[in-house]
Amino acid sequence: MRRRAVAFALCALVFGGVVAARAHARARLHVDYYYIPYCMACARVLHGLERFPREFGAGVELRTIDCFSPAGVAAAKKYGFVTHGIVVERGDGELVFEEKDHGVSADDVRVIVERELGRRPPR
């Protein structure tokens, strides 16, 4: 009888961990900005995005990638960018938002992130 109780407790612990890990993966957002290094418009967007880690903490992972790097070129093909753009995905890989080229605005991305996280960032 004791073995069954221990086995049940271990199964519950493992299952609970898997459910929690999946929930955490869904809650986290990935923001990937593919930028042109010498572009002033891209520099303004980068400046706006650099506050995201402080504002949203662990809820958002921000990556900034040179659009001429191999990863940037692959993203342009995948998402249909001319050269650069931004992509927001949920932790499970589901695409939430994308904007191409110079249509990108850090403020627009902030609104999307706030909506997806279901909250306003701490000020």
CATH, residue 69: 3.40.30.10
Is residue 16 included in any domain, yes or no? no
| Domain that includes residue 41, residue range | 28-117
CA 118 to CA 110: how far, in whole Å? 12
CA 61 to CA 74: how far, in whole Å? 20
Distance of CA 77 to the CA centre of its chain: 19
- Per residue in 71-118, pLDDT tens? 999 999 999 999 999 999 999 999 999 999 888 899 999 999 999 998
Question: For the whole model, what pTM was predicted?
Answer: 0.73
- Per residue in 14-51, pLDDT tens? 554 443 344 343 459 999 999 999 999 999 999 999 99
Is residue 53 included in any domain, yes or no? yes
Is residue 14 included in any domain, yes or no? no
